[in-house]
Chain A
């Protein structure tokens, strides 16, 4: 029974939201339905179609509740009308998967609606689509449970009051809106993947949720090249999760990672998906190009056989699609492996001169390592020290401090 609840919770909620037209009422109804099931199933047996049973129990409970609360008569009528219209759809078995699938997709697009702030989109998606508790979502954002509860309440209120539709967007808006959904999924992943001090379990859970979400959207909206690229990108990063932090909690850079710790199943799947995403027709997505870069890294049997020329070429494609300072910085690092540190340093200095970089510790850390390779020790130390002053995350600070110690030693 627990297994059924876990499996059906998301689908049942999504459909109840459509039937009842309200997030909070749907959550309440789902709880009521699960409670009724705990009471009745042990005696009456598990129904042939538990999902439909839960949905219809939830809907009936909601109608009861509305009656009990003696709300306006018109509201009851609306509920009954909505129920009658949707009832027919819920119980046609052959269409069941499709109807429930559509409801989940509606829920995802509603939670990721661009009229909500991006923080609210991520929080709502984790809460309503992934089914995380408010407490778990608040931990992911490093805010108190109260603050997160407030944020969720405000977001749901905006959905209701501003008339954000519970709909899959029409074809002319679909591409744009999918980009928004992908951005939310990727934010969940990067939130989990970022090396922050502390809660490794929570971080793993976020990465897993992001990958699961991408798989869900892939089932609902198959053959979307950007989504497949994103899934590939996340798998190829996730595969290296265990190898990139030492037991002492220090960051291990790709070149020093123990490749034996990489998750080969995720890598195999990721590599196949990169190829698929690049083969599908349509505009090449930045996610696919980033995944292709990650693929070049994991394909190399050791760091010395990495095909840096290909990585430089891919970064050049990426810079055209998505010209951001961080990508330029990564491009410069790749260039240093092909044309030497001097050429890369020129690129970094010209990037710094434009003054667009936000993560100065990153820029100074790269500058420091290039200067170190050029044996300009004094300048390298100065760059590292500036990076250290600006770095906020503890493992990154330790990494930079280790570089400085290395300079001092030798």
Chain B
């Protein structure tokens, strides 16, 4: 079963991290990603640019309305994701718990619909 692990964190806090801590975090992410690739669980994963770069699109009556900023203002922002293949929710949760960002932010675990048809 595929799960999307959405990594939420407070961007302001991440931005304020000192360079040494940032390097450590990057290393931790590299390690973690390598681990789930080796375990055959990794399907995709990326880090997102900050919400200040986000645009939101809505099409109403055939017309696209574009607004600056994210879909919703929240205390923690979506900062990255992993798409993983896990046996069940427990395995997905144990992967999520090892994401370095889980230590200060939160990870939302969402099961993915199987492809239609």
Contact = CB atoms under 8 A, between A and B. Distances in A.
Interface in B1-48: 1, 3
Contacts of A161: 111
Nearest to B87: A165
A162 B111 contact: yes
Max chain A Cβ within 10 angstroms of own Cβ: one of B86, B90, B109: B90
B88 interface: yes
A163 B111 contact: yes
B59 to A, nearest CB: 28
A165 B111 contact: no
B90 A167 contact: yes
A402 interface: no
Main secondary structure of the interface of B (DSSP, over half): mixed
Interface string A97-121: 0000000000000000101000000
Interface of B: 1, 3, 86-90, 92-94, 109, 111
5 contacts: A161-B111, A163-B111, A164-B89, A165-B88, A165-B90
Interface of A: 113, 115, 161-165, 167, 169, 173
Contact of A169 (B1, B90, B111): B90
Given A161-B111, A162-B109, A163-B88, 16 more contacts: A113-B89, A115-B89, A162-B111, A163-B3, A163-B86, A163-B89, A163-B92, A163-B111, A164-B88, A164-B89, A165-B88, A165-B89, A167-B88, A167-B90, A173-B90, A173-B94
A115 B88 contact: no
A162 B90 contact: no
Contacts of A173: 90, 94
A169 B1 CA distance: 18
A165 B1 CA distance: 12
Max chain B Cβ within 10 angstroms of own Cβ: one of A113, A115, A163, A169: A163
B52 to A, nearest CB: 33
Nearest to A164: B89
A164 B91 CA distance: 10
Instruction: Sort A-B residue pairs by CB-CB distance and give the 5 closest, nearest first.
Output: A165-B88, A163-B88, A163-B89, A163-B1, A164-B89
A148 to B, nearest CB: 24
Contacts of A167: 88, 90
